[in-house]
Structure 1
Amino acid sequence: MNKMSAIGGVMAILMVLQCTEAVTVHVVGDGLGWTVPEDSSAYQNWASTNNFVLGDILSFNFETNRHDVAEVAKGSYETCTSNNTIGTILLTGPTNITLNRAGEHFYICTIGQHCNGGQKLAINVSTTPSTTGALPPSTGAFPPSTTTTPPPPFSAASGSALASVALLLFSLFMGIAF
C-alpha cells in the first residue's frame, strides 16, 4: 500500500467518525420517561439542559395505550389541543423522532388531561450545536418530523475517543513511514 492510499483511508475514517458523532439521542425526560410529571415544568426544565441539533433523535419512552406523542402547532401546544397535529400521532411506545428541520417543535400527549398535567415539550432545534435547547416558543406550522428506528449504540463520547485513537494511529503511521 502506498503512502497516499493510507493517508486517504485514514482521512476517510476520520470524516466518517466526525459525521457519526454529531447525532445525539435525547431520551425525553431522562429517567422520568414520557409520562404525566409531578412537576408540570419537568419537560421544560429537561429541555433547558439539552442542545437540540438537526439530525438528533428524540426518544420518547412510554407505555403503548397509556400515552402517545403528537407534534403540534404552537397554539395547540399552549391550549393542549390536538386540533393542529403535524404528521401522525405516534401511538406505540417507545418511539423515536428524528429532528429533520430547524426551528421550534412542540410535542404533547393527546390522551385525557395529560397535556394539561404537564406532559408537553417545547424545544428549539438549531443547525449548529451552539444554541440552547429550551424555547420561548413562537408561531407557525411546520412539516412533519420523521419517525425512525433507534440508532446504533454509538455515542458522541465513543466517537470522539475513536477519532482520537485514529488520529494517534495516523500520526504514528506517518512518523514510521518517513
Structure 2
Amino acid sequence: MASSSVALVTLLVASCAALAAATSYTVGDGKGWVIGVDYSGWTSGKSFAVGDKLVFTYTSKAHTVTEVSQSDYSSCSGSNALANDDSGATTVTLNTPGTHYYICNIPGHCAGGMKVAVTVGGGGSSGSGSSSGGGSITPSGAVLQVPAMGAVVAAAAGALIKVALF
C-alpha cells in the first residue's frame, strides 16, 4: 500500500511540474498580431520550449496565422501552408523542437512585417532545419482545455487526503 501511495504522489507532483513548466506567449505582447510590430525583436530574449503556446490575437478575417516552411516564410508565400487560421484568436502549441514559421497570408501583410520565426529548444535540433508542421494551431472556436493550476493543486490535495485516510 505504501509503495502505491508513493507512486501516486510522485505522479501528481510530476503532472503539476509539467503543467507549470509550459509558458503561454502573446505574440506581439499588447499590440497583438498586426502590421507594424517587429516580431524578430519580440522573439529575441525569449526561450521557447516544447509544450509552450503562442497566442495570436487579431481581427477575425482581417489577418491569418499561417504556418509555412522556411522557404515560404522567406518568400512570404502561404500557398503551401502547413496550417492556417483566421478566427481572430489562434493558439499554437509548440509540439516539436526546431524553428517554426508563421506569416499573415493576407496579400501584402507578410511583406509589411507580419511574420515570425520561433526557435523551440529541446531534442538537440534547436535552431536548425525548417518547420514540418511541429505546431498545433487551434482556432478560437475549438476547445483547448488546460486545467488551471488551482484545479490541479486541489485535485492533488484531494488525492493526498484519500491516500492519508487509507
Q: TM-score, normalised by structure 2?
A: 0.75
Name the structure 2 match of 1:103: 98
- Decide which of 108, 117, 124 is 1:113's aligned counterpart: 108
Shift of 1:44: 0.8
Shift of 1:154: 3.7
- Decide which of 82, 85, 89 is 1:86's aligned counterpart: 82
Name the structure 2 match of 1:22: 21
1:52 touches 1:125 (CA, 8 Å); kept in 2?
yes
Amino acid of the structure 1 residue aligned with 2:116:
L
Q: Give per-residue Cα distances to partners, 1:15-71, cap 9 Å, x unaligned.
A: 22112112111111111111112x5xx111111132111111111111111111111
Q: Percent identity?
A: 32
Larger RCO (CA under 8 A, 6+ residues apart): 1
Amino acid of the structure 1 residue aligned with 2:40:
Q
2:60 touches 2:87 (CA, 8 Å); kept in 1?
yes
Name the structure 1 match of 2:163: none
Amino acid of the structure 2 residue aligned with 1:142:
S
Runs in 1 of length 4+ with deviation above 2 angstroms?
2-13, 138-141, 147-155
Q: In 1, Cα distance between the equivalents of 2:119 and 2:110?
A: 19
Name the structure 1 match of 2:68: 72
Secondary structure of the residue that 1:21 maps to in structure 2?
A: helix
For residues 150-169 of structure 1, the aligned pairs below 5 Å read 150-152=144-146, 154=148
1:75 touches 1:139 (CA, 8 Å); kept in 2?
no
Shift of 1:139: 5.2
Shift of 1:84: 2.9
- How has the CA–CA distance of structure 1 residues 51 and 150 changed in structure 2, closer, same or farther, with 3 Å as cutoff? farther
Shift of 1:146: 1.7
- Decide which of 48, 51, 61 is 1:52's aligned counterpart: 48
Amino acid of the structure 2 residue aligned with 1:64:
S
1:69 touches 1:110 (CA, 8 Å); kept in 2?
yes
Q: In 2, Cα distance between the equivalents of 1:101 and 1:73?
A: 14
Q: Give per-residue Cα distances to partners, 1:80-129, cap 9 Å, x unaligned.
A: 12133213x2121201111111101110001121111111100111127x
Q: In 1, Cα distance between the equivalents of 2:4 and 2:132?
A: 45
